[in-house]
């Protein structure tokens, strides 16, 4: 878990996938990115040491660990998937640091808020795309509360300089319609702000990606902080609460990563089982399986697994995917195999993620022969009679690489394709071994 970028794996310039007749097998999922990065930060801020089991080892978690190391937090590595983080009890040993944030939204947003509250002299910067991803709503909210955060480049975007400020606010307002990570960041930092008074965070406008807030509240609770919730409009942290280690914590498998394998089972026979998420998952993206069911797949769920297989037809879907923006990309590719046009609605946040995912998705689906209407916040996808062989650009977006591998599958009367996926190393953001796992469920004879 020693932070090391770029990821040590050697990736080729492209990966060629043969057409796949049938998908079947079991995949043990890597740890959830959202849970891993929240847990690392909370463990660093908590009183006591926290053993984290099944932590994700990927670029995004290496970014968080690298930042924590630069801030003076220590940890012990027990084995490849287990570390013990020694918390600073709300303090960070180093009050000056230059922090590389890669393209990890789950690192830069929560760290910006925590560091602004703790106070010090910090710079936060990332890869070029990170410098195009908005952070202005969070900076505005923190500065209005007394923080001193300056833009080092374009206003509204990283890189940022955080100077010694003094946050004293009982009410903080933040816009919720660009990224839920701004609210997550303020919630996680709020217990560091309470003196003798409560801190309330009010959401201005519509809040997107709500299930991620549930992950935040769940983990804060496990680290000893209860948040009073007034619907999705307002959240209050009462004084006298400090983060305390729960002793040990287990990271669930990543439900967004599960979506590729479940879709493979639904498209190309199955059964494909993912292990590491199940009936009691705290991740909203497990609801991807509900969407697959609506498309006609047969889905079964256990305590710690989900399985999908094909029912012979995949029905088109028209639905709002605001609650599962990451897994919804997998629906867009599954829609290539559906019996008619599918519409994915309310996905405007796709435009400000690893790339402009609405534009990228439309361009690459068209290469496969689909007819695609790209709206400001929706995609309508009409599948072709037969998929065309294609070379897929991935835009340095792990999810583009992962979900387009599915177009190599045979299923629902459509023949899979010879696919070339360019620049596959981008999967290292959340799933360094993705292609090994994908090839592991690909069968080229029927039984
Ligand atoms: O809080 C989180 O862990 C995340 C929230 C979502 O972002 P938005 O809230 O920006 O949609 C999601 O897309 C991202 O991959 C992870
Ligand atoms: C949007 C994503 O990442 P981030 O956490 O950097 O926002 C993603 O993983 O799809």
pLDDT in tens, 130-148: 999 999 999 999 999 999 9
Considering every ligand atom, which ligand is closest to the CA of 354?
2
Q: Which atom of ligand 2 is nearest to the CA of 34?
A: 5
Specify whether the CB–CB gap between 44 and 73 falls below 8 A: yes
pLDDT of residue 445: 65
**Has 109 been labeled as part of a binding site?**
no
From the CA of 209, how far away is ligand 1's center (Å)? 7
Given the residues 60, 254, 326, 397, select the one marked as catalytic.
326
**Burial status of residue 131 (CB atoms within 10 A of its CB: 0-12, 13-18, 19 or more):** middle
**Residue 441 backbone dihedrals phi, psi, to 5 degrees:** -105, 0
List the chain residues with pLDDT less than 50.
5-6, 8
Q: Which atom of ligand 1 is nearest to the CA of 349?
A: 11
pLDDT in tens, 319-359: 999 999 999 999 999 999 999 999 999 999 999 999 999 99
pLDDT of residue 22: 94
Whole-number Å distance between alpha carbons of 382 and 387: 12
Specify whether the CB–CB gap between 357 and 389 falls below 8 A: no
Centroid of chain to Cα 384: 30
Q: Catalytic site residue 318?
A: no
From the CA of 134, how far away is ligand 1's center (Å)? 13
From the CA of 349, how far away is ligand 1's center (Å)? 9
Global pTM value: 0.97
Residue 148, Cβ neighbours under 10 Å: how many? Answer: 16
ipTM of the complex: 0.99
**Has 34 been labeled as part of a binding site?**
yes
> Is ligand 2 within 6 A of the CB of residue 254?
no
What is the crossing angle of helices 59-70 and 33-45, to 10°?
A: 10
**Burial status of residue 287 (CB atoms within 10 A of its CB: 0-12, 13-18, 19 or more):** middle
Whole-number Å distance between alpha carbons of 191 and 326: 29
Considering every ligand atom, which ligand is closest to the CA of 324?
1
Q: Which atom of ligand 1 is nearest to the CA of 325?
A: 13
**Has 345 been labeled as part of a binding site?**
no
pLDDT of residue 443: 87
Specify whether the CB–CB gap between 101 and 158 falls below 8 A: yes
Choose which residue among 102, 181, 215, 330 to substitute to test ligand 1 binding: the one with the highest number of ligand atoms within 8 A of its C-beta. 181
pLDDT of residue 446: 56
Half-sphere exposure of 60 (CA within 13 A, CB side): 30
**Has 181 been labeled as part of a binding site?**
yes
Specify whether the CB–CB gap between 110 and 184 falls below 8 A: yes
Going by C-alpha positions, the residue among 118, 85, 308, 325 that lies closest to residue 212 is 325
In sequence order, which residues have a C-beta less than 8 Å from that of residue 366 and are 6 or more positions away? 372
From the CA of 61, how far away is ligand 2's center (Å)? 12
Sheet bearing 227-230, strands edge to edge = 171-175, 199-204, 234-237, 227-230
**Has 326 been labeled as part of a binding site?**
yes
In sequence order, which residues have a C-beta less than 8 Å from that of residue 419 and are 6 or more positions away? 16, 17, 389, 390, 391, 392, 404, 405, 407, 408
Half-sphere exposure of 272 (CA within 13 A, CB side): 29
> Is ligand 2 within 6 A of the CB of residue 399?
yes
3-state secondary structure the chain: CCCCCCCCCCCCCEEEECCECEEEEEEECCECHHHHHHHHHHHHHCECEEEEECCCCCHHHHHHHHHHHHCCCEEEEEECCEEEEECCCCCCCCCEEEEECCCCHHHHHHHHHHHHHHCCEEEEECCHHHHHCCCHHHHHHHHHCCCEEEECCCCCCCCEEEECCCCCCCEEEEECCCCCHHHHHHHHHHHHCCCCCCEEEEEECCCCCCHHHHHHHHHHHHCCCCEEEECCCEEEECCCCCCECCCEEECCECHHHHHHHHHHHHHCEEEEEEECCCCCCCCHHHHHHHHHHHCCCEEEECCCEEEEECCCCCCCCEEECCCCCCCHHHHHHHHHHCCCCEEEECCHHHHHCCCCHHHHHHHHHHHCCCEEEECCCCEEEECCCCCCCEEECCCCCHHHHHHHHHHHECECCECCCCEEEECHHHHHHCCCCHHHHHHHHEECCCC
């Amino acid at each position: 878990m020693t932070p090391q970028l770029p990821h040590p794996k050697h990736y080729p310039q492209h990966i060629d996938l043969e057409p796949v007749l049938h998908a079947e097998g079991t995949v043990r999922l890597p740890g959830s990115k959202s849970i891993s990065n929240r847990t690392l930060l909370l463990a660093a801020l908590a009183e006591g040491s926290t053993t984290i089991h099944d932590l994700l080892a990927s670029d995004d978690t290496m970014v968080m660990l690298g930042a924590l190391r630069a801030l003076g937090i220590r940890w012990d590595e027990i084995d490849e998937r287990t570390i013990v983080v020694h918390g600073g009890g709300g303090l960070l040993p180093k009050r000056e640091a230059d922090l590389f944030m890669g393209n990890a939204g789950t690192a830069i947003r929560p760290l910006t808020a925590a560091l602004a509250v703790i106070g010090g002299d910090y710079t936060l910067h990332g890869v070029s795309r990170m410098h195009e991803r908005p952070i202005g709503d969070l900076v505005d909210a923190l500065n209005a509360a007394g923080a001193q955060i300056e833009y080092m480049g374009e206003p509204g975007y990283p890189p940022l300089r955080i100077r010694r400020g003094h946050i004293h606010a009982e009410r903080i307002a933040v816009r919720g319609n660009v990224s839920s990570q701004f609210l997550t960041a303020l919630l996680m930092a709020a217990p560091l702000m309470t003196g003798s008074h409560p801190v309330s965070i009010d959401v201005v406008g519509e809040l997107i990606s709500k299930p991620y807030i549930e992950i935040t509240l769940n983990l804060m609770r496990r680290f000893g902080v209860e948040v009073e919730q007034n619907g999705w409009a307002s959240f209050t942290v009462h004084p006298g609460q400090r983060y305390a280690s729960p002793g040990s914590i287990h990271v669930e498998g990543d439900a967004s990563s599960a979506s590729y394998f479940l879709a493979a089972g639904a498209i190309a026979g199955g059964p494909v089982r993912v292990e590491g998420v199940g009936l009691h998952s705290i991740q909203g993206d497990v609801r991807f399986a509900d969407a697959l069911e609506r498309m006609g797949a047969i889905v079964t769920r256990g305590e710690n697994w989900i399985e999908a297989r094909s029912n012979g037809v995949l029905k088109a879907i028209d639905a709002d995917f605001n609650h599962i923006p990451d897994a919804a990309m997998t629906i867009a590719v599954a829609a290539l195999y559906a019996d008619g046009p599918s519409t994915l609605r309310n996905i405007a946040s796709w435009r400000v993620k690893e790339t402009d995912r609405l534009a990228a998705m439309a361009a690459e689906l068209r290469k496969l022969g689909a007819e695609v209407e790209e709206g400001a916040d929706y995609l309508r996808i009409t599948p072709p009679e037969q998929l065309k062989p294609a070379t897929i650009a991935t835009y340095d977006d792990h999810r583009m690489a992962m979900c387009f591998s599915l177009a190599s599958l045979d299923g629902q009367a459509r023949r899979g394709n010879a696919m070339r996926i360019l620049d596959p190393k981008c999967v290292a953001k959340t799933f360094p071994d993705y292609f090994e796992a994908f090839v592991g469920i690909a069968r080229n004879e029927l039984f």
